[in-house]
Amino acid sequence: MVEALENLKDIYSKEEYSGNMFFTLKRPIISYEVFPPKNDSNGEKLNELINELRILKKYEPSLVSVTYGAGGSNRDQSVDIIDRIKNELKLNPMPHFTCVSTRKSEIKDYLFNIEKMGIKNILALRGDIPEGAFCHDFLYASELVEFIKKEHDLSVAVAGYPETHIESESLESDIKWLKHKVDKGADVIYTQLFFDNNKYFGFTEVCADEGIEVPIIPGILPVTGYNQLLKMTSLCKVTIPKILMEKLEKHSDDKDYTKKLGIDFASYQCRQLIDAGVKGLHFYTLNKSEAVSEILENIL
Ligand code: FAD
C-alpha cells in the first residue's frame, strides 16, 4: 500500500523480494492501467471500477495509470478517477496525457492541476492524430516530455512499441525516436501489449544497443474474449502466437474456456518475463479485477 506517493525513479529502483524460508523470489513491481468508463452519467460504472481496484489493491500495486482521451475528451472524468484512486483507495495514480490537438496553455493548466493534487508521475503521449486536428503546439511526445521536465516537478513515463508503432517504418527508426524521448527526460517506458515475449526481448536488446537505460516495463493483456482480442489487435501491431490463436479460434464460442486460456497464457508470459529479470509488470486490466487477480495468484 502506498503511504506517500512515490515517483517512478524511486519505485523502479527498489528491489522487492517474496518467498519463504527455503527460497526467495525477486518480486516485480506491479502496476495497472484503467480507463474512464464510457456512458456513465450516473457514476455507477466508476463506482464499479473503484470496487474492482479495491480487490486488486491486495497485490500492492505501486501505480495505477489512468488513460486519457486524445484531445481531452474525458479530461474531467479522468481527473475524478485520479482523485478517488489517491484519496479513497490510497493508491498512487499516474495520469496518461496526450498532447495532440491541445494548446500549450491547456497543457499548462492540466499539469498545474495534477501537481496541485499531489500527483508525482505522468505518462506523456502524443495520442492518435484525429481527422481535422486543429492545433499542433506539440508534434511528438518527446516535445511534451521536454516541456514537462523543464516546467514541472513530475516523473515522466512514455510509451514503447515492441512490434513498432503503427506509423513507423522500422523498429530501428521507432527506437531512435524512443531514445529521443528518454534523452528529453523520460524515466520509464511502458510497452504496448504483446503476446510473444520474443518480440519484447528483441525490442529491449535493440533499446540497450541504442543506449536506452531506463526500465522498460512490459504491458500485459489477459485475453478474456476472442472478439475483444481481434478488436484490440486491429488497432495496433501485435502478433498472436500460433498456439494461442489456434486454441482461441477453436473455442471462440466458449467464454469460460477463453477466459481460462487467457489467464493461463498471461501467467506463463509473466513467469517467463520475471525469470528474464523484468523490473515490473503493467497490466491492462480493462477495468476488471478477476483475470489479473488470478494471474497474480499464479505468479507471485
Ligand atoms: P510519439 O512518441 O510521439 O511517436 C509517434 C510516432 O512518431 C512514432 O511512429 C515515432 O516513431 C514517430 N516519431 C516520434 N518522434 C518523431 C520525430 N521527432 N520525427 C519523426 N517521427 C517521430 N492513447 C490515448 O489516446 N490515450 C492514452 O491514455 C494512451 N495510453 C497509452 C499507453 C501506452 C502504454 C501505450 C503504448 C499507448 C497509449 N496510447 C494512448 C496510444 C498512443 O497515444 C498512440 O500509439 C499514438 O499514436 C502515439 O503516441 P506516442 O506517445 O507513442 O507518440
pLDDT digits over 163-200, tens only?
A: 999 999 999 999 999 999 999 999 999 999 999 999 99
Active site residue 33: yes
Choosing from 77, 165, 175 the residue with most ligand 1 atoms within 8 A of its CB, the one to mutate for a pocket test is 165
Residue 104's pLDDT band, with cuts at 50, 70 and 90, is very high
Least confident range of 197-201, 230-234, 257-261, 270-274: 230-234
Residue 73 has a pLDDT of 78
Residue 135 has a pLDDT of 66
Contact between 285 and 292 (Cβ < 8 Å): yes
Average pLDDT (140-168) is: 97
Strand partners, 160: 191
SS3 content of the chain, % helix, strand, coil (to 5): 45, 15, 35
Protein residues whose CB sits closer than 6 Å to any atom of ligand 1: 67-68, 70, 96, 98, 123, 125-128, 140-142, 159, 165, 167-168, 174, 177, 181, 190, 192, 219
Residue 111's pLDDT band, with cuts at 50, 70 and 90, is very high
Q: Please name the residue whose Cα sits nearest to atom 41 of ligand 1.
A: 127
Residue 5 has a pLDDT of 85
Identified catalytic residue from 6, 15, 33, 106: 33
Residue 212's pLDDT band, with cuts at 50, 70 and 90, is very high
Residue 129's pLDDT band, with cuts at 50, 70 and 90, is confident
* Ligand 1 atom nearest to CA at 178: 2
Strand partners, 27: 16
Average pLDDT of the residues of the chain? 93
Distance CA 144, CA 159 (A): 13
Q: Residue for cell digits 489517491? A: 86
- Is it the case that residue 79 has pLDDT exceeding 60? yes
21-52: pLDDT as tens digits: 777 777 999 999 999 999 998 999 999 999 99
* CA atoms lying within 13 Å on the CB side of residue 199: 20
More confident residue, 168 or 3: 168
Q: Please name the residue whose Cα sits nearest to atom 14 of ligand 1.
A: 177
More confident residue, 132 or 137: 137
Residue 3 has a pLDDT of 55
Contact between 50 and 88 (Cβ < 8 Å): yes
Average pLDDT (136-157) is: 95
272's grid cell: 517467463
Q: Write down the H helix ranges in the chain.
A: 8-13, 44-56, 75-87, 104-116, 141-151, 171-183, 197-209, 226-234, 242-250, 255-275, 290-299
Residue 172 has a pLDDT of 96
Average pLDDT (257-280) is: 96
Strand partners, 29: 280
What pTM did the predictor assign?
0.96
| pLDDT over 70, % of the chain | 98
Distance CA 75, CA 36 (A): 9
How many other β-carbons are positioned within 10 Å of the β-carbon of residue 174?
Answer: 20
Residue 70 has a pLDDT of 74
Q: Please name the residue whose Cα sits nearest to atom 30 of ligand 1.
A: 67
- Is it the case that residue 248 has pLDDT exceeding 60? yes
Exposure letters 120-133 (e unless 16+ CB within 10 A, then b): bbbbbbbbeeeeee
Residue 53 has a pLDDT of 98
